[in-house]
Structure 1
Amino acid sequence: MASNVNPTVRRRRLGQELRRLRELKGMTAEEVADRLLVSQSKISRLENGRRSISQRDVRDLCGVYEVEDHRVVDSLMQMAKDSRQQGWWHAFGDIPYSVYIGLETDAASLRVYESLIVPGLLQTRDYAHAVIEGMWPEATQSEIDKRIQIRLKRQDRLTDPDNPLRFWAVIDEALLRRVVGNDRIMADQLKHLAELSMQPHVTLQVLPYSVGAHPGMYGKFVILEFQDAMDASVVYLEGVTSDLYLEKPNDVQSYTVMYEHLRAKALSAEQSMEFIHQVAETYGG
């Protein structure tokens, strides 16, 4: 296992291998759970990489699956050990969306649709502060500061000189028009969007009101893709109290098709930049 693969991705790969071994054995997750006297949800979370996997978990599962090749067992045990290492985000304590951050950190590209707020990786500090303060009115200043620090740290992927994140966003006109903070903050934010869109690895398209109804009206989503063919694409749907990760090929394909429809309806990258400048002028930018 390469040392530059983050723990979330290691855990995901290990979970995929454990699922493969279970399916080769012809067992259901419920049957495995009954054998180990654990909940079915634990087996599912181990296999989808949403739960930390201990070496004991691997040993027990290999026993159930009757894996006799010690080299395979040793390799899986090492993967489990590596998966328990900590990513940079662990320094900030308990983060409810840490799984997503881990995936985003290792992703090769992101395709984002956002309808209400500027995508987190594109936010200025002042805009991020106003958004976080507005969305979590009961958060303490310490909690707000932590969220801002994490958001700005995540943005390092866009400026990584060796491995910049390929970022494509379709954004609704509504998020350009909604005043978050004040006019100065909005003017600075839209100027920042225009500057980022000049980067060769960043593409922004605006979906104007004039297109009417469109597939994105279901809500925002992110499609994460990875460099290594071992790592299947993931669709991320953010919720208030919990998040959803879709990995089944049919689900990913459905969102990919939806995204292509959104791209086709949106203004071109050049038209979008001009549109953003026009809106910025209404804020005095």
Structure 2
Amino acid sequence: MIRRRVLARQLKLLREQSGLTLEQAAPKLDFSVSKLSRIENAQVVIDVHWVKSMLDVYDVGGVRWNELLELAREAQQPGWWRAYGLGNNSYIAFETEARRVQVFTLGYVPGLLQTADYARALMRGVPVRRTDEELDNEVAARMYRQQRLNSEENPLELVTVVDESALYRPVGGPEVLRRQLEQIAVLADLDTVTLRVLPSAVGAHAGLASSFTILSFGELGEPEMAHVEHTIGALILHKEAEVARARVAFECVLSDALDPAESLALIQRLARR
């Protein structure tokens, strides 16, 4: 999804640099104006042959030609999550390309830190019908996502603030929660993970309405986006003003949270209990 967006943005830029409007470029490509517009807005999967035609019309060659064709091929590849029987899940597609995620969660531990038992119990607690196989696949996919926290080739930086209430909620029962707290303590020691706990004593705070995530894409050059979870679904937010509000909210909960050492000490105490 992200690579499709990057490719689309590059193709639009090349058209503009060639001095062609949508109305001028479309007939040269045997496209309708609406089709070319959808391509440039990443609303369709972009065929490699289309890209070759566009590069010809926009007089692009050499190294740039090869780079964009390779990007087009990458954009067509099915996501790894398809092997788990999952559809084109927007959030997983975006997180897979992200370099950093900033996560605030209210009533539960973030997915990137969950144990399999905790994740399974959490998924069973929501009113979404799943077969046993679908549940197994979703849990396995969540565990797969966590591998990037330890990856040397493709690391993912996680900065997370967890509401203190989540550390007491016995999702799956006391023993599942204890093992979950132990895992958090282990993962919090990774160089890629910054974990902070927002104390209940803070009272009202900027994230009280919902959990949310901010995704950053590093060298891909794609603008940040926000993912907001709520009881009956989730939203992906792309508009700069909306993402800016999410950034402000995250900075607020971050400033109210315990520092990493205090947060880890609290989690370790709770795990021993």
1:258 counterpart letter in structure 2:
A
Question: Is the 1:167–1:203 contact (alpha carbons within 8 Å) kept by the matching residues of 2?
Answer: yes
1:260 alignment partner in structure 2: 251
User: Residues 77, 163 of structure 1: CA spacing in aligned structure 2 closer, same or farther, 3 A cutoff?
Assistant: closer
User: Residues 257, 243 of structure 1: CA spacing in aligned structure 2 closer, same or farther, 3 A cutoff?
Assistant: closer
User: Residues 140, 234 of structure 1: CA spacing in aligned structure 2 closer, same or farther, 3 A cutoff?
Assistant: same
- 1:216 to partner: Cα distance: 0.7
Question: Is the 2:237–2:243 contact (alpha carbons within 8 Å) kept by the matching residues of 1?
Answer: no
C-alpha offsets along residues 33-69 of structure 1, whole Å, 9 cap, x if unaligned?
xx827589x82xx445464222465578x49xx9431
Please give the alpha-carbon distance, in whole angstroms, between the structure 2 residues aligned to 1:12 and 1:50: 9
Identity %: 33
Question: Is the 2:86–2:138 contact (alpha carbons within 8 Å) kept by the matching residues of 1?
Answer: no
2:58 alignment partner in structure 1: 68
2:196 counterpart letter in structure 1:
Q
- Aligned partner of 2:120 among 120, 126, 129: 129
Give the TM-score, by structure 1 length. 0.78
Q: How does 1:88-237 map to 2 (within 5 A)?
A: 88-97=80-89, 99-228=90-219, 230-237=221-228
Q: Does 1:85 align with 2:77?
A: yes
For the residue of structure 1 that corresponds to 2:160, the secondary structure is strand
For the residue of structure 1 that corresponds to 2:46, the secondary structure is coil
Q: Does 1:270 align with 2:261?
A: yes
1:5 alignment partner in structure 2: none
Q: Which runs of 5+ in 2 are unaligned?
A: none
C-alpha offsets along residues 223-261 of structure 1, whole Å, 9 cap, x if unaligned?
122231523322223464564142x44433332222111
- 1:122 to partner: Cα distance: 0.3
C-alpha offsets along residues 170-229 of structure 1, whole Å, 9 cap, x if unaligned?
011121122211000011101111121122221111111111111112311111222315
Residue-pair matches, total: 264
1:36 counterpart letter in structure 2:
S
Alpha-carbon RMSD across the aligned residues, in angstroms, is 3.2
Q: Which runs of 5+ in 1 are unaligned?
A: 1-7
User: Residues 275, 74 of structure 1: CA spacing in aligned structure 2 closer, same or farther, 3 A cutoff?
Assistant: closer
Question: Is the 2:212–2:228 contact (alpha carbons within 8 Å) kept by the matching residues of 1?
Answer: yes
Give the TM-score, by structure 2 length. 0.81
- 1:271 to partner: Cα distance: 1.3
